[in-house]
Amino acid sequence: MRRKDGIFGERCVEARAFALLLAAVAAAMLWNLLTGALAIPCDAIFRVLGSALGLTDPAVADRRFALVLTEVRLPRLCLACAVGATLGFAGAAMQGVLRNPLAEPGLLGTASGAALGAVAAIVLEGMLTRRHDFAVFAVPAAAFLGAVASTALVVAVARAVALPSSAVLLLTGIALNALAGSAIGLLISVANDEQLRSLTFWMMGSLASANWLQAGVVAAVGAVGGAVVFRHALALDATTLGDDVAGHLGLDAVAVRGRVLAAVALAVGAGVAFVGMIGFVGLVAPHLVRLMMGARHRLVIPGSALLGAVLVLLADLAARTVAAPMELPLGVLTGLLGGPFLLWLLMRVGAKGGVS
pTM over 0.85: yes
pLDDT digits (tens, 9 = 90+) for 274-326: 998 888 899 889 988 988 888 899 999 999 999 999 999 999 999 998 877 78
In angstroms, the CA 93 to CA 23 distance is: 24
Q: What is the 3-state secondary structure (H, E, C) of 78-113?
A: HHHHHHHHHHHHHHHHHHHHHCCCCCCHHHHCHHHH
Q: What is the pLDDT of residue 131?
A: 52
**Residue stretches of the chain with pLDDT short of 70:** 1-11, 52, 54-61, 126-136, 162-165, 243, 245-246, 349-356
Q: What is the pLDDT of residue 317?
A: 93
| Ramachandran assignment for 294, one of left (phi > 0), alpha (psi -120 to 50 degrees), beta (any other) | left
**Closest listed residue to residue 285, CA positions, set 45, 103, 32, 120:** 103
Contacts of 55-64 with C-beta under 8 Å, sequence gap 24+, read 64/38
In angstroms, the CA 316 to CA 326 distance is: 13
Residue ranges of domains in the chain, CATH in brackets: 13-351 (1.10.3470.10)
> Which helix (DSSP H) or strand (DSSP E) does residue 138 occupy?
helix 138-161
Amino acid at 44: A
Q: What is the pLDDT of residue 227?
A: 96
In angstroms, the CA 17 to CA 218 distance is: 26
Q: What is the pLDDT of residue 230?
A: 95
Q: Give residues with Cβ within 8 angstroms of 307, minimum separation 6.
A: 21, 24, 88, 285, 288, 289
pLDDT digits (tens, 9 = 90+) for 95-122: 988 888 778 888 888 888 988 998 888 8
Q: What is the pLDDT of residue 135?
A: 55
**187 alpha carbon, distance to own chain's centre:** 25
Helix then strand then coil, % of the chain, to nearest 5: 75, 0, 25
